Amino acid sequence: MKFQERVFSGMQPTGSLHLGNYLGAMLKWIDLQKTHECIYCVVDLHAITVWQDPAELRQAIRQVTAAYIAAGLDPEKSILFNQSQVSAHAELAWVFNCVARLGWLNRMTQFKEKAGKDRENASVGLYAYPNLMAADILAYRATHVPVGDDQKQHLELSRDIAQKFNNDFCAQIEAAGYDGGDFFPLPEPVITGPATRVMSLRDGTRKMSKSEPSEMSRINLTDDNDTIAKKVKKAKTDPEPLPADTKGLSGRPEAENLVGIFAALSGSQKADVLAEFGGRQFSEFKPALADLCVARLGPIADEARRLMDDPAEIDRILVDGADRARAIAAPILADVKDIVGFVHARP
Ligand code: TYM
């Protein structure tokens, strides 16, 4: 069956967003608004899979929403909302808890990393996290999911869940009037561009992440201009000049990372950046990168701060987005209930 193209993606409201979130995901989100119906979520249900201070969580939901809008997501055009306001996510996630197999979840590397050695003490929610993610996407029958490289395995699981649901309930799906047993699309990851995996500024072999203790390892979307410039100038590098082509970046993770960041922020490719800076020292490249970061990120931080002065308006946007999201998810969830065999009143 041919599905209507629809984009879904989300970010966790745990601390402030950083350059990795912006380059790995949000730049594509902004672009896709031009061509697609887009649904962008602040995934607060995912956030509580590890402990969150309630007052900080509430603030972080608003802050991430402000960053979305400040970065260029248009709440009129796209649907922006927080996940917990649309119960279809949790309801469909339960059905998927019963579709997904333990063996599938046992392979998830992100659970292993996040749970660490004390696995017995991890929440059940952290373990079932990828099922909720599949529900986020499939509650809207979304076909395209723009994310960074670290979400690839979770999206493969979403496809497996969609496929197994389609197979397990094939007869009921046909009886409900869907051709060929395809109730859910197999959502496609959109992992493109020169910065699908932005690395720490302190260690080019580690991913830039909110959980890294050193603030110098990442550029936050809330950082002021001086802080941004300082972090770029202090970023770890090696002593060699930049190479003339991308082959010369292999084995030089810090150089590769900074060149990738420059390319993504300037809307070009790594090869273009090297055509300009190849043969030059980091002492010349870093100030240019710092200027670019400040020019691109500074206005986002300023606008997000301005939006945060009016939290009631942010809440209004989230309620409006949730209403629109619910309207899309409700008939899909009603079909799921029919297919699975629940007794219910259709909305
Ligand atoms: P989260 O909140 O960890 O990250 C949000 C987005 O940012 C991307 N990202 C990065 N990209 C490049 N380099 C980095 N260093 C980097 N760090 C983060 C992530 O790939 C992601 O696209 N499970 C998801 C949220 C989620 C979701 C969904 C995404 C929940 N439901 C449904 C898509 C569809 C997460 O924790 O992302």
Give the number of the atom of ligand 1 that is nearest the alpha carbon of residue 43. Answer: 30
**What is the reported pTM?**
0.97
Tell me, what DSSP letter sits at residue 119?
Answer: G
Structural domains in the chain (count): 2
User: Candidates 8, 9, 11, 159: which one to mutate for ligand 1, based on the most atoms within 8 Å of Cβ?
Assistant: 11
**Residue partners of 197: CB distance under 8 A and separation at least 6:** 20, 24, 148, 149, 150, 207
* Closest protein CA for atom 6 of ligand 1: 21
* Closest protein CA for atom 19 of ligand 1: 148
Is the CB of 130 within 6 Å of ligand 1? Answer: no
* Closest protein CA for atom 18 of ligand 1: 21
Instruction: Mark whether 17 and 134 lie in a shared domain.
Output: yes
CATH assignment at residue 252: 1.10.240.10
Q: Considering 34, 112, 117, 207, which one is annotated as catalytic?
A: 207
Is the CB of 207 within 6 Å of ligand 1? Answer: yes
Instruction: Mark whether 116 and 265 lie in a shared domain.
Output: no
Tell me, what DSSP letter sits at residue 244?
Answer: S
Instruction: Mark whether 67 and 105 lie in a shared domain.
Output: yes
Instruction: Mark whether 330 and 228 lie in a shared domain.
Output: no
Is the CB of 193 within 6 Å of ligand 1? Answer: no
CATH assignment at residue 129: 3.40.50.620
Q: Report the pLDDT value the prediction gives residue 1, as an integer from 0 to 100.
A: 66
Give the number of the atom of ligand 1 that is nearest the alpha carbon of residue 25. Answer: 22
What residue numbers bound the domain in which 139 lies? 6-196+310-340
Question: Is 114 considered catalytic here?
Answer: yes
**C-alpha span between 92 and 334 (Å, rounded):** 10
Q: Report the pLDDT value the prediction gives residue 181, as an integer from 0 to 100.
A: 73
Instruction: Mark whether 264 and 177 lie in a shared domain.
Output: no
Is the CB of 45 within 6 Å of ligand 1? Answer: no
Instruction: Mark whether 111 and 232 lie in a shared domain.
Output: no
C-alpha 196: how far from chain center:
11
Question: Is 236 considered catalytic here?
Answer: no
**Which neighbouring-strand residues pair with 144?**
7, 188
Phi and psi at 339, nearest 5°, equal -65, -40
Q: Give start and end residues of each alpha helix (H) in the chain.
A: 19-21, 27-32, 44-47, 54-71, 88-97, 102-106, 109-115, 124-138, 152-168, 170-175, 225-233, 253-266, 270-277, 282-308, 311-340
Instruction: Mark whether 163 and 227 lie in a shared domain.
Output: no
- Segments of the chain with pLDDT less than 70: 1
Instruction: Mark whether 115 and 143 lie in a shared domain.
Output: yes
**Which neighbouring-strand residues pair with 199?**
207
User: Candidates 40, 151, 220: which one to mutate for ligand 1, based on the most atoms within 8 Å of Cβ?
Assistant: 151
CA of 21 to the centre of ligand 1 (A): 7
- 211 in a structural domain: no
- 331 in a structural domain: yes
- 1 in a structural domain: no
Instruction: Mark whether 317 and 258 lie in a shared domain.
Output: no
Average pLDDT value over all residues in the chain: 96
- 202 in a structural domain: no
Q: Report the pLDDT value the prediction gives residue 179, as an integer from 0 to 100.
A: 76
Q: Which amino acid is located at 184 in the chain?
A: F
User: Candidates 19, 21, 199: which one to mutate for ligand 1, based on the most atoms within 8 Å of Cβ?
Assistant: 21
Instruction: Mark whether 112 and 61 lie in a shared domain.
Output: yes
CB 238 within 8 A of CB 255: yes
